[in-house]
Amino acid sequence: MSLSSLIVQSEVATMRQVEEALARQVIYGGDLVTNLMEVALIDERALLPLLADSMQLSPAPAGELPIPSDEIRALVPADVAIECGVLPLSSDGQTLVVAVAEILSDETMSELAATLGLCVEQRAAPLLRIRQAIARTYGYPSNAASSDWWRRSME
């Protein structure tokens, strides 16, 4: 089921609010969740489980994502985080948990796993939260346009 359908069926937002957010998405870019939070006073904690369900992933923490420890941050260099649109959250030494706004392709997952020498587990998060966290974690301006992913996320 689509995210917009889940949002309306769960009564987290009205059809009108979703339509307004979708129209804003077409004009300004970004993701539906971020646009919906900007056009309506919707609680992110109510949206996050729906986003995760639509992506068939577990949710990342709601709100601003935590800045990873130096050890975890070192696993994913800034250029990889920006290029792939991932924020490392945690690792148990065998699996790296990353927050994503879009499901990573099988190819990207394979490349990350091979590069890192770890299994990669994805958690769903709004695009806004991924971009904020990458900017805070790696010291990039949140409107940086240094990668295709960053530019695509603005479309």
Alpha carbon distance 72, 25 (integer Å): 32
pLDDT per position as a tens digit, 117-126 = 999 999 999 9
Residue 69 CA neighbour count, 13 Å, CB half: 7
Confidence of residue 12 (pLDDT cuts 50, 70, 90): very high
The two structure tokens encoding residue 127: 């695009």
> Which CA distances in Å does 91 have to 5, 6, 12, 118?
34, 31, 33, 9
- Strands, sheet with 95-100, edge to edge from the N-terminal-most edge strand: 58-59, 119-124, 95-100, 86-91
| Residue 29: predicted pLDDT | 86
Q: Yes or no: say if 12 and 50 are a contact pair by the CB < 8 Å rule.
A: yes
The two structure tokens encoding residue 99: 């927050």
Nearest to 60 by CA among 93, 83, 30, 85: 85
Residue 130 confidence (pLDDT) above 80: yes
DSSP string, 53-80: HHHTSEEPPSSSPPPPPHHHHHHS-HHH
pLDDT per position as a tens digit, 18-77 = 999 999 999 988 889 989 988 888 889 999 999 999 999 999 999 999 999 999 999 999
The two structure tokens encoding residue 64: 């601003």
Nearest to 78 by CA among 135, 8, 33, 132: 135
